[in-house]
Amino acid sequence: MDKILKVEMLYNNRKKNHLAAYALGFFLGSFGAHYFYAGANDWGWLVLILLFATLVTGGGLFFLYALVVLFGAIHTYFVVNARNKAIYDECLVLIG
């Protein structure tokens, strides 16, 4: 029982907050900040590269960029859940 309590305490200190991820997505989602927060750096870089490419092409890639940003609103939920599961597993290994 003591181990489970330690795991839960460590997990609660390290887990990612859905509300924080959505707030970052709302205010800085164009830069992929919500993905970087959730630990999905590959998606964060994809959003940044698409933003840069859209600006360089004068909006030629805007449709693709807009789809990725809109997709991020739904995708963020699953990314945060996956990251939290990985954090919980890390906590089990650390305490276990």
> What is the distance between the alpha carbons of residues 50 and 1, in angstroms, rounded to a whole number?
48
Type and span of the H or E element at 64: helix 62-95
Torsion, CA 53, CA 55, CA 59, CA 60, rounded to 10:
-30
Type and span of the H or E element at 30: none
User: pLDDT tens string for the chain (96 positions)?
Assistant: 688 899 999 999 999 999 999 999 999 998 999 999 999 999 999 999 999 998 999 888 889 888 988 888 899 999 999 999 999 999 999 987
Q: What is the pTM of this model?
A: 0.87
> What is the distance between the alpha carbons of residues 71 and 19, in angstroms, rounded to a whole number?
17
